Each structure stands twice: as structure tokens, then as C-alpha cells.
Amino acid sequence: MQINYNMIKIKKFLTVVFSLAFCLKVAGQEPGINRGKQNNGPGSQPVPLDNVECLFDSAFQVKTAVILSQAAAQRNSVPLSLVRIANNKLAVMAQDKNGKLQPFYMRGIETGFWDTRTDTTNYDTVFEAYRKMNADAAMFMIHWSDIEPADGKFNFSFTDSIVATAKKYGVKIVWVLFMHEHSHDMKCLPPPENLWMYNLDTRDSVNYAIQWIKDKNGAIIKDIPTQRQKFSEIVPCYANPIVYNRIIGMLGQLGAHYKNSESVIGVQIGNEEGISYMGSDADLNPYTISSFERWKKLTGDTSWTRFKLAIVKLWWSRFTTAYHLQEPYKLTMFNPIGGGPEKGDSGIIARSGTNVTTFRDSKIDVIATMFYGTDATRIWKNLDAIYKVDNTYSYPTQLPVLMSTEIGIGRLNTLPYTQEFMINFLERGSQGFAVFEYGHMASLEGMINANGDVFQKFMAMVKANEDIIWPGLPGSGDNISLSAKTGGAKISCLHKGNEGTLGILHFPEAIDEKILETQVEVPIEITVQKTGVYVTEIYKDGILTASRKDNMTATKGSLVTVHLSNKATAFIKVTKLGIK
């Protein structure tokens, strides 16, 4: 149901935002209200460059997602929340149809502009295919203009229809909110020169509402038509107070609109955004340069690259706060350019102003890293260097949590790599993950292909073992441990205290296409520290293939043998039933 915000609600919203020094009053204009033509189009009055001062307010307090106890979340009737459970892990819970909070682990598929955004798409068919593939969440791509088609005039009819349809099939939504535009690829949108958010500050044939990019010849491109000739994307100038304030207002409206929805998990703020990675340099807009000058005075540093890393963190800390002012509990996410910064690509880091510390330092709730190609294996070394201390991952127990939005499948990753990346998220105690994208796994008619079949089977095993995965911490714990007795085989474990351990059997060295597929017989040694009755279950190819009950003696345990391909995986769950 679409919400029509009256002036009282808007004024209340603005009062809260003003109180946190967002500097939302720019040239006499207030965000979230139809502003007429004063700052829109040729001849508009420029905003003083010193208006960027507000971004550097040392008193500013960033708001992250509120973390509740399970009891508090239930008592407060929170539709969806990050809760701290008994073993200190952070985990997502969402209300069921009866209003009771239940564990939720994201088994996601991304979709939107590149596959399902057509005039004839039947989303009942699409989300029915999600259900068949054992997906419970859609990373759904939308553009800023989808929810604010005109300046200050919000319309959630499209996004509401997506939520309503997905809900029928048990699918929750994370909005992948594009604030920039792929001018050649987003066929369902008007061209960027016709969208109001990219034309908020134009004068003298120059567009101050977009990032200015330097081309290979050293020329700074200052207008949309020329940029469209040379580059594929138009990125807003976040440093321009007119643009910045509209984003702040829009994120607040998005948070408020879905505040009571148990179907919306949160929002990925931007998609591969920050400073533009295109051209030989960006953003050279005067407002960004003015921010650079102010930053230099505050820090004594003169590095353009370090400034870009700092300013993106400042922008996104304000963006996540704007969302959380209206929606305290749901999650904000961020994904740098194609996983390049996390891989350590110095060129992309220098151009985009993002790296592995951006998630942490901008106070984004979720690390939404992208995994494409064989070199994506380098991501873990750099991420873990920041989010792992004394051999213990911080992902399960403190913000930012781990919940990837894009693991390539199909032509974007071979299936062994897709499988290995999904296992990497499981073994680190993540809150879930999503693959990119629906169109690589199923058709608009709902026909599931070979990629979708592999995903379905893997997710069936995840779903069957969420009793360990959802509360599970990395490692085997104090009681039940599993080890593989075959070279090249690895057992990655999650444990639920003394009650159970899930071992994921895989072959990291065999994911390369140069390694031939072979059938392997792997002995798995199960050792327990507490004598008692234990159940061992083995899952392969999406189904439970074996189950047995054993009396195990402390320090001795049991042995099981698993037969499978070195390109496949098996889940081995051992749970304790009682004490002998």
C-alpha cells in the first residue's frame, strides 16, 4: 500500500534530520518538498562552495542498525532485526505471518535491470522460480527515480508491487538502490539527461550535479551528453549540497515507507558507487574540490587518493544514518566496484575512493563484496586482514556483518568457483549471501537451467542445515570436530556449542578448470569430547543420502566415508542427542 506523507510527517522528519547537523537547509530549500525550479535547470543559482563544511562536523554521530536481544525484538514487535543470540553471534530474525520472530538466513538471488526489468515480466513467475530454487531473498535492483520520479514527489507503487508479489512466495527483498545510471543499459529508465536528479544544478552549459571526469587526454567532461559519448555511467556529485540533500531525504523516505514490513531486509546504498572509477580521474566537480580543500586544512594531508577514500566514508556514513533515522533495525549494505578494491587493485582504489576498510569506517552494517572471476579468491586475504583478529573472524559477532550480494554464476564464474565462494561465506559465519543473477539461472518463463539446478541443490543443503548455520560460529567448537583424511579435501566447520557441528567437505585446490574431475572416496574422522549418543547426517547433491546414530566415546568418536566428485561438496552434520 502506498503511503502519502502529509506535511506534518515531513516536518517531523526534517526536524530529526536537522538535529544531527546534516546541513539540510541549502539556499533556502528543504528536502522532501517540491522545490519548484529555483535550483533545477539552466540559470539556477549556485550554492556557495563553503556549504560542504557541514560534512566535516566533528559532533556528527553515525547511526548503525540497532542490535536487540531476541526477547527485546519480540517484545517490541520489530518486523525484522539483527539480534544478538546466546553465543554472542549476530543473526537476522524476521516476523512470520503470525507476528512471531523466526530465524532468517539469506539464500539470495539478485535481479533487476539486466534480466527481469521489462514491461511484460510476470513477477509471479519469477518469484515462483525463486521458491523452486530454494531462494528466500531477492536483491532487487531499483533506481532512485523508481521511488522519486519527480523532485520531492515519492511514489512507491512499483516497489510495493514487487514486495507484495515476492511475499506470496516467501521471498524477502533487499533494495539494490542505484543512484547513478548505466546510460546505455537501463532500458526501462529515461536517459540520464531527462532525469531530474542529474539536472539539479546546471548553469552556463555546465552540469554541477554530476561527477566531472577527466578523459585520457586530460580534458574534464562537465556535461551529460559528452560523458555519454565516452563512458557508460552517469554518477551524481554527492558533494554538491543540492544533490546530497536530496539523497538524504530520499533514503529517509525509503526507510520510513518500509519500516513496518517484515518482507524488506534493508537497502544496498548505491551499486558500485563512490567516486567514479571511469576515466583517468574523478570527481573533479568544484564541490568535490572544495571538500578536498577543507579536508586538507583539517588533516594536514594533501593526498588526493587518501582524500577520496576519506570522503566516500564520510558520504556513506551520512547516507546510512539518514536511512537509520527512519528505520533503526533493518540493514544497510555497500559494494565497491566489482570486488576490485577488496582484491587490492590499486588503480580502482585510487579512482573510486573505496577499499576493504570502507565498510568498517563508513559504519555500513553489511559487507556486500562481489565475487567475479578466478582472481576473486584474493578478496579473502584482504578482507580477513581487517576483519579477523587472533584467528577469530569478527564477521559473526560485530558490525559490519558478512552478507554478499553478488557471487557470480554462469558466464560470470564457473560452477566450482561459485560453489567455493558460497562455502567461503558459510565457513566465516555469514548472515547469508546472494548470487548474480536470476537471468543466469532461469528464464522469464520460469524455466530453470543447469546453473539454477546446481544453485537449487546447494541451497537445499543450506536450508536443511540452518539449525546449525544460522546460530553457528566458525570452527568445530569444544565438543565435536571433523577432519578429512584425503589430500586436497578440506572440512570447513560451523558449530552450535556442544550440541552440533556442521562440516562442509570441499576441494579448494580442484576448482580450477585445469584440474580434471575425478571421483574421490574421503574418510571423515569424527571426534567428540563428551561421551553420548550422536546422529550423523550426510547431504550430497541437494539431498540427505545417509543418516546413522552412534554411541560415541569421548576422544574416540567415529569414522564415515563420503564418495563424491572433487568438483562437488557434501555437508556432514553431527548432533548430540544425549549422554551415555
Give dist(CA 348, CA 459) in Å, integer. Answer: 33
Domain count, the chain: 2
Tell me the one-letter amino acid at 534. Answer: Y
Name the burial class of residue 470, with classes exposed (0-12), middle (13-18) and buried (19+) by CB atoms within 10 angstroms of its CB.
buried
Q: Which helix (H) or strand (E) holds 97?
A: none
Biggest CA-to-CA distance, the chain: 84
- Domain boundary, last residue among 419, 442, 465: 442
Helix H segments across 428-548? Answer: 450-464, 466-469
Considering the domain architecture, whether residues 413 and 482 belong to the same structural domain is answered as: no
**Claim to verify: residue 263 and residue 153 sit in the same structural domain:** yes
Q: Provide the strand spans (E) within 419-568.
A: 432-436, 473-474, 480-484, 490-496, 500-506, 519-528, 532-540, 543-552, 558-565
- Confidence at 4, pLDDT banded by 50, 70, 90: very low
Q: What is the CATH number of the domain that holds 552?
A: 2.60.40
Residues 257 and 130 in one domain: yes
Asked if 359 and 483 sit in the same domain, the reply is no
- Residue 377: CB atoms within 10 A of its CB come to 16
Do residues 545 and 434 touch, judged by C-beta distance below 8 A? no
Three cell numbers, residue 138: 531477492
Instruction: Tell me if 541 sits within 8 A of 507, measured CB to CB.
Output: no
Q: By three-state DSSP, how is residue 264 classified?
A: strand
Query: Which DSSP helix (H) or strand (E) runs through 243?
Result: helix 241-257
Higher per-residue confidence, 279 vs 54: 279
Q: What is the pLDDT of residue 32?
A: 34
Give 54-79 pLDDT, tens digit per residue: 788 888 999 999 999 999 998 999 99
Whether residues 378 and 480 share a domain: the answer is no
Nearest residue to 211 (alpha-carbon basis) of 244, 246, 171: 244
Average the pLDDT over 67-92 and give the result: 95
CB atoms within 10 A of CB 368: 27
pLDDT at 23 over 60: no
Tell me the per-residue pLDDT of 159-206, one tens digit each, with 9 for 90 and over.
999 999 999 999 999 999 999 998 778 889 999 999 999 999 999 899
Residues in the chain: 580
- Helices within 76-140 (DSSP H only): 123-132
Give the residue carrying C-alpha cell 515519492. 154
> What are the two backbone dihedrals, phi and then psi, of residue 24, each rounded to the nearest 5 degrees?
-85, 0
What is the predicted pLDDT for the residue at 2?
Answer: 35
Query: Quick one: which H or E segment has residue 332?
Result: strand 331-334
394 shares its domain with 493: no
- The answer to whether residue 229 sits within a structural domain is no
Of 63, 220, 186, 162, residue with least CA distance to 113: 186
Distance, in Å, from the CA atom of 240 to the CA atom of 106, rounded to the nearest integer, reads 36
CA distance 158 to 156: 6
Q: Distance (Å, rounded) from C-alpha 189 to C-alpha 113?
A: 9
Considering the domain architecture, whether residues 254 and 369 belong to the same structural domain is answered as: yes
Q: What is the mean pLDDT of the chain?
A: 91
Following DSSP, what letter does each residue of 379-441 receive, concatenated? HHHHHHHHHEETTEESTTTSSSEE-EEEEE-GGGS-HHHHHHHHHHHHHTT-SEEEEE-GGGT
Instruction: Work out whether strand 233-234 and strand 181-182 pair parallel, antiparallel, or are unpaired.
Output: antiparallel
Q: Which domain holds residue 271?
A: 107-205+241-278+307-442
Look up residue 428 and give its amino acid: R
Give the domain-ending residue among 442, 458, 489.
442
Residues 274 and 373 in one domain: yes
- Are both 247 and 135 inside the same structural domain? yes
In a domain, 23, yes or no: no
**Same domain for 354 and 247:** yes
In the three-class reduction of DSSP (H, G, I as helix; E, B as strand; rest coil), residue 493 is classed as strand
CA distance 200 to 29: 12
**452 in any annotated domain:** no
Helix (H, G, I), strand (E, B) or coil at 89: coil
Residue 494 to residue 475: CA distance in whole angstroms: 5
For the segment 211-231, the average pLDDT, to the nearest whole number, is 94
Q: Which CATH number does the domain housing residue 154 bear?
A: 3.20.20.80
Phi and psi angles of residue 490, each rounded to the nearest 5 degrees, phi first: -130, 140
pLDDT at 251 over 70: yes
How sure is the predictor about 405, in pLDDT bands with cuts at 50, 70 and 90?
Answer: confident
Distance CA 426, CA 463 (A): 12
- Specify if 332 maps to a domain: yes
Same domain assignment for residues 387 and 260: yes
The candidate with the shortest Cα–Cα distance to 201, out of 27, 382, 460, 323, is: 27
Q: Is residue 32 part of a domain?
A: no
Name the 3-class secondary structure at 134: coil
Q: In this predicted model, what pLDDT tens digit does every residue of 406-447 receive, in sequence order?
A: 999 998 999 999 999 999 999 999 999 999 999 999 999 999
Q: So what's the pLDDT on residue 500?
A: 97
495 is a domain residue: yes
In a domain, 59, yes or no: no
Q: What is the pTM of this model?
A: 0.92
Q: How confident is the model at residue 45 (pLDDT cuts 50, 70, 90)?
A: low
Confidence band for 390, pLDDT divided at 50, 70 and 90: confident
| Cα(171)–Cα(520) distance, integer angstroms | 37
**Cβ-Cβ contacts under 8 Å for 375 (sequence gap 6 or more):** 343
Q: What is the 3-state secondary structure (H, E, C) of 368-387?
A: CCEECCHHHHHHHHHHHHHH
Asked if residues 21 and 30 have their Cβ atoms less than 8 Å apart, the reply is no
- Output the nine-digit C-alpha cell for 287: 564541490
Query: Looking at the predicted structure, is the pLDDT value of residue 29 above 60?
Result: no
Same domain? For 318 and 414 the reply is yes
Is there a domain that residue 40 lies in?
no
Cell of 102: 523466526
